Amino acid sequence: MSKVLTNTFSSLSRNQIANKLAKKYGLKFGASRFVAGDNISDAVKHVRALNNNGMAAMLNYLGEFVTSEEEADLATENCIRTLDAINKYGLDCNLTVKPTSLGLDLDKEVTLTNLKKILDVAKEYDNFVRVEMEDYSHCQVTLEIFKELKAEYDNVGTVLQAYLYRTEKDIDDLNRYNANLRLVKGAYNEPPNIAFPNKAEVDESYEAIIKTHLLNGNYAGVASHDPKIIREVIKFTKENNISKGQFEFQMLYGIRPELQRKLAENGYKMRVYVPYGIDWFGYFMRRLAERPENVSFVLKNTIKK
């Protein structure tokens, strides 16, 4: 049953008609548990509250399925406005962005140009931008873009996914760039010829890439809600004298807030991923696909309305 629900939510997340309809009708079905609002003022409020509780944040202006340069330009403008707001309100917060929202399905060069516009503004504000990793079909081109950007900018990072077989090699390759990497298990439904099909194998690969990346002396964003992984990272960094300044924990807005607070109280850098904007549907469906137990929560919210 759980597998059926996971597949259903995964395919809904990619359904362009559902995504377009959702944009029109605003946050529904309890999506506000995971999405901080549809405008920048709401997002700023949530980030400020996190900062007041000793946590950093990263803002993501939600967007996927961009099919024209105009839409990609608009997303770029919204990213720049987000950086402006972070600077204006003095927030402890950086920016995280999906390359398809900036035109990756249209053209690599368009995406590069848009990312450079964003990175120029971020540099002016002494801020940092992370280029996220989406499904496998975008993996190679995203890494090429990251490497091109890294030759010009210090304030850029990207993401590697533990479920892909190729990631072990990518960790070694990106070591040459001293890459600041967010490391995740992986959120997309990938076939067994490119990704580990079993959770235990993904978890094992995840631990391994985190350790390699840290031992290589690079900065890691350990992006997971898995208490076992978090305990292991704490133990490993203590045993290997890796300072708390070389990594941060990252979690999604609305997931395990008590663990987020506890880590911050214990002196670990805790950065919360705060998504906002009208294009909330695909993101929300992926959160349900990760944990179909959230469906009962959605149903309760739907019935209440």
Q: Which stretches of the chain bind ligand FDA, using CB under 6 A?
A: 132-133, 159, 161, 182, 184-188, 223-226, 250-252, 255, 273, 287, 290-291, 294
Instruction: Give the type of residue at 202.
Output: V
The label of the residue with tokens 């029109």 reads: 24
* Min CB(273)–ligand FDA separation in Å: 4
Question: By C-beta, is 124 or 285 nearer to ligand FDA?
Answer: 285
Rounded CA separation 272/63 (Å): 18
Rounded CA separation 81/102 (Å): 14
Rounded CA separation 4/6 (Å): 5
* Min CB(270)–ligand FDA separation in Å: 10
Rounded CA separation 153/177 (Å): 11
Question: By C-beta, is 129 or 223 nearer to ligand FDA?
Answer: 223
* Min CB(94)–ligand FDA separation in Å: 12
Question: By C-beta, is 273 or 276 nearer to ligand FDA?
Answer: 273
* Min CB(90)–ligand FDA separation in Å: 22
* Min CB(263)–ligand FDA separation in Å: 13
Beta strands in 154-207 (DSSP E): 156-161, 181-184
* Min CB(185)–ligand FDA separation in Å: 4
239 Cβ neighbours under 8 A, 6+ residues apart: none
| Residue 233: its H or E element | helix 227-239
* Min CB(120)–ligand FDA separation in Å: 23
Question: By C-beta, is 42 or 135 nearer to ligand FDA?
Answer: 135
* Min CB(38)–ligand FDA separation in Å: 20
Size of the chain in residues: 305
| Residue 272: its H or E element | strand 270-276
Instruction: Give the type of residue at 49.
Output: A
Copy the structure tokens of residue 5. Answer: 């629900």
Question: By C-beta, is 6 or 69 nearer to ligand FDA?
Answer: 6
If DSSP codes are grouped into helix, strand and coil, which group holds residue 30? Answer: coil
Question: By C-beta, is 115 or 251 nearer to ligand FDA?
Answer: 251
Rounded CA separation 76/13 (Å): 22
Question: By C-beta, is 19 or 224 nearer to ligand FDA?
Answer: 224
If DSSP codes are grouped into helix, strand and coil, which group holds residue 250? Answer: strand
Question: By C-beta, is 68 or 198 nearer to ligand FDA?
Answer: 198
The CA-based angle 15-20-26, given to 5 degrees, is: 120
